[in-house]
Structure 1
Amino acid sequence: MKILDSKGRLFGKVSILDLGAALVIFLVIVGIFLVPGKSGSSTIAQVINKPIEVDVIVRGLGVLDPESLIRQFEDTKKTNIVIRNQPAGEFGIKKVQTIPRTTLVPQQDGTVKALPDPSPQAKFYQDMIITLGGDAQVTETGAVVGQQKVKIGTLIELEGKEYNFNTSTIAVRVLK
């Protein structure tokens, strides 16, 4: 008896094409259920929520009464944040540090000093560092807030009842 007949059947009973199809189906089932890999596991289960602190810098914010804005931060102690045009929730305002506006003034001996800016419009511009605190998902690649990664350089928009302005992230700390 021949192993392969003229119609492509093994021992006259089973078609080679049917056998090949059955083998492919069997290998797919083995690949799905028996071979380990990340494709079947959920990445959400591996994410840990931890408290973080984010320092943001505000440069040249035009405001009529800077002291009133700082008092508002201290009174409400919270702000809404927007990252990459996506609302990312509410963070607490832990600390506001004002930075005095200065201008470089050359001295007679050739050195340069940073002195308070004497221009009349300088009183309407405020520089500050704001420390924000809240919870984030901490992954291998960093902190994620509202489905957006937060790293140094990330632009964060702060939004409150009477303000809305952009800041730049200068530090991210994961607390324990």
Structure 2
Amino acid sequence: MADSPASRPRGWSLVDAGAAVAVLLAAAGVIWSPKLSSAVAKATGDLRPVKVMVDVRGVPVADPGALISAIETERKVAIVIRNQPHGTVAIQKLIPLQSRLVALQPNGSVVTAIDPNQAVFGRFDARFVLEGQGRRSEGGVVFGNQSLKIGAPVELEGKQYRVQGVVTDLQVGEG
């Protein structure tokens, strides 16, 4: 008598192997997810206060003074690192920056003066001092689940503005 298909042991097909790989990848994604790693870092005390300075230069604005007042009133900003939103962080301080003109004199000396065109043409130049939580890594400071270094471009967004800036300083405090 021949073996019936129901009595033979069933082997693994290509579809079964693909489903098993998909389940393993999904489990690995859950284990290594950024939110979970942030929760683990928070639970282990690995997160530290991080101060990030971002310089924003040359943004055309009709009324720079009003924009500065609005930013100081909000006291927080949404940060976007490498085109990925990473939540809001507190603004510790906003420092208006002034452009300076430099002129070389015939005798070899250098003379500098505040650029009068900055007020006339309504340009916004400022340094944002931001406070958040992060951790130190081999590749820099992990802030908002992204490795952040001096020179990295970021976007800052508030209720009335969205500006692009560059990280100019990172300071990791003690937890």
TM over 0.5: yes
Look up the match of 1:83.
81
Q: Distance in 1 between matches of 2:115 and 2:56?
A: 17
Q: Which amino acid is 2:53 matched to? A: D
Higher helix fraction: Structure 1 or Structure 2? 2
2: CA distance, partners of 1:144 / 1:99: 27
User: TM-score, normalising length from structure 1?
Assistant: 0.68
Cα distance between partner residues in 1 of 2:101 and 2:49: 38
Tell me: CA distance 1:85–1:78, structure 2 relative to 1, closer, same or farther (3 Å).
same
Q: Which runs of 5+ in 1 are unaligned?
A: 1-40
Structure 1 counterpart of 2:146, one-letter code:
Q
Deviations 1:3-37 (A, max 9, x none): xxxxxxxxxxxxxxxxxxxxxxxxxxxxxxxxxxx
Q: Is the 8 A contact 1:53 1:172 kept in 2?
A: yes
What's the offset of the Cα at 1:158? 0.2
Identity %, equivalent residues: 34
Counterpart selection for 2:134 from 130, 133, 136: 136
> Max radius of gyration: which structure?
1
Alignment of 1:59-138 (within 5 A): 59-119=57-117, 122-138=120-136
In terms of mean alpha carbon deviation, does 85-94 or 45-54 score higher? 45-54
For structure 2, the 5+ residue unaligned runs are 1-30
Q: Which whole-Å CA distance do the structure 2 matches of 1:78 and 1:100 have between them?
A: 23
Distance in 2 between residues matched to 1:120 and 1:72, nearest whole Å: 19
Hey, what's the Cα distance between the residues in 1 that align with 2:154 and 2:118?
29
Normalising to structure 2: TM-score of the pair? 0.68
Identify which of 38, 51, 54 aligns with 1:53: 51
Equivalent pairs, count = 136
Determine the structure 1 residue equivalent to 2:143: 145
Q: CA deviation at 1:141?
A: 3.2
Matches of 2:134 and 2:114, distance apart in 1? 39
The CA distance in 2 between the partners of 1:105 and 1:65, in whole Å, is 28
Which amino acid is 2:101 matched to? T
Deviations 1:31-83 (A, max 9, x none): xxxxxxxxxx9794567211100011111121111111111121111000000
Q: Is the 8 A contact 2:53 2:169 kept in 1?
A: yes
RMSD between aligned residues: 2.4
